[in-house]
Amino acid sequence: MDFIWTLLFMAFIGALIGGFTNHLAIKMLFRPHEAKYIGSWRLPFTPGLIPKRRDELAVQLGRTVTNYLVTPDVLRNKLLTPEMERKAEAFLQSKLEEHVLQSDKTLHDWLQVAEATDIVEKAEQKIESLIDTQLVNVRTKLTSGTIEEIVPMEWQERAKAHIPEMTNYILKRAELFVDSYEGKVMFQKLINDFLESKGTFGGMLNMFFGDSNSLVEKVQREALKFINAPGTYDLLHSLIDKEFTKLQKRPMAELLAGFNWEGLFTSIKAYANKELALNSRLDKTIQAYWPAGSEWTAVNFTPKVTQFAFDQAQKQLEQSLKKLKLDEIVKEQVDSFPVSVLEDLVLGISRREFKMITVLGALLGGIIGIVQGLIVFFTNLS
């Protein structure tokens, strides 16, 4: 019976020592947080292992993150996938429609967001200034040369090509007029006025030719012969051609003398402002001007932008990670942690395992105590 109590006592002492030493070893990983001194002599094993090696731990954690956790391949496989690209495209399209394409904001509102104030007044002033400048240039150009120099040559050639047609038209109209009742009345009046103006001589002529009606008919026939004569066409054509040539040599300013340029300028500017109607146009939404915007962007804009962004991310991922210097960020963060935070971080992950190590130390200590008791008992027997 004494042997059993001795064996149990030795097992208890062994378990106590084993559990305590393991527990102490675990604690010494973090405690003490700072070095302890007696005078100028630093106590051994102070501070604990992790506080003492925190700089090395921070560097190693940084390397672990950049080499194994946050690597280009990991990000490509987890973030830059076709599924993520589709989700990003859908998200971008929804936000674009919600905040821009189908928004209730008018163009005025968007200009205010961009801090573009008095845009209508400035635009109207700019337009009027441009119109004034262009109209003055046109006026200067139109009044600083002859018709031949200013009017396009193509127009002049076309006008000259219509001279034969114009000549035929004049002769045709003259023929119709001379042969008409109005022409007869005109000739009769002219003959009567002429004969009356000659007094007695006119009366003698009237008696010689008979009544005025027959004289009018004779004059009409002679006039028609003159109009239809080949030489008449050539004569009229030549006259019109000469007058056209003279017209070409005349200054354009002479032709446009007395033209109300200021009135024209005012009318053009008023018409431009009326047609532009900037205030009313800017009071409409983007959707009012672009009702098919959502469909167009969903097909032609959003997919291309998303694809471009993902392609660039693929190409620049490795360089971007290098520029981020994640290892230095992790090192700086770990260095800035209080040791107590590191302790809570490690223990929060491995507390159960550390307890099992303590229990395992106690178990091994108890077994060793039993073995020692057995060795002592058998040694005493011999």
pLDDT in tens, 66-119: 777 777 777 778 778 888 889 999 999 999 988 888 888 888 888 888 877 778
- Confidence label for 232 from pLDDT (cuts 50, 70 and 90): confident
Q: 28-59: per-residue pLDDT in tens?
A: 666 665 666 676 666 665 666 566 666 776 77
How far is the C-alpha of 158 from the C-alpha of 164, rounded, in Å?
12
Per-residue pLDDT at 198 exceeds 60: no
Identify the DSSP state of 100: I
How far is the C-alpha of 301 from the C-alpha of 292, rounded, in Å?
13
Q: The tokens of 225 are what?
A: 């012969």
Q: The tokens of 315 are what?
A: 């190409």
- Confidence label for 202 from pLDDT (cuts 50, 70 and 90): very low
- Contact by Cβ (8 Å): 382, 24: no
Which phi and psi angles does 259 have, rounded to 5°? -70, 135
248: amino acid identity, one letter: Q
Per-residue pLDDT at 268 exceeds 90: no
How far is the C-alpha of 234 from the C-alpha of 170, rounded, in Å?
13
pLDDT > 90 in the chain, percent: 6
Considering the chain, what is the average pLDDT of its residues? Answer: 78
Q: 332-344: per-residue pLDDT in tens?
A: 776 676 766 666 6
Q: What is the 3-state secondary structure (H, E, C) of 305-374?
A: HHHHHHHHHHHHHHHHHHHHCHHHHHHHHHHHCCHHHHHHHHHHHHHHHHHHHHHHHHHHHHHHHHHHHH
pLDDT for the residue 182: 83
**Quick one: average pLDDT of 180-204?**
67
Q: The tokens of 73 are what?
A: 């391949």
Per-residue pLDDT at 357 exceeds 50: yes
Cis bond before residue 32 (omega within 30° of 0): yes
pLDDT for the residue 92: 92
Per-residue pLDDT at 141 exceeds 90: no
Q: Is 37 helix (H, G, I), strand (E, B) or coil?
A: strand
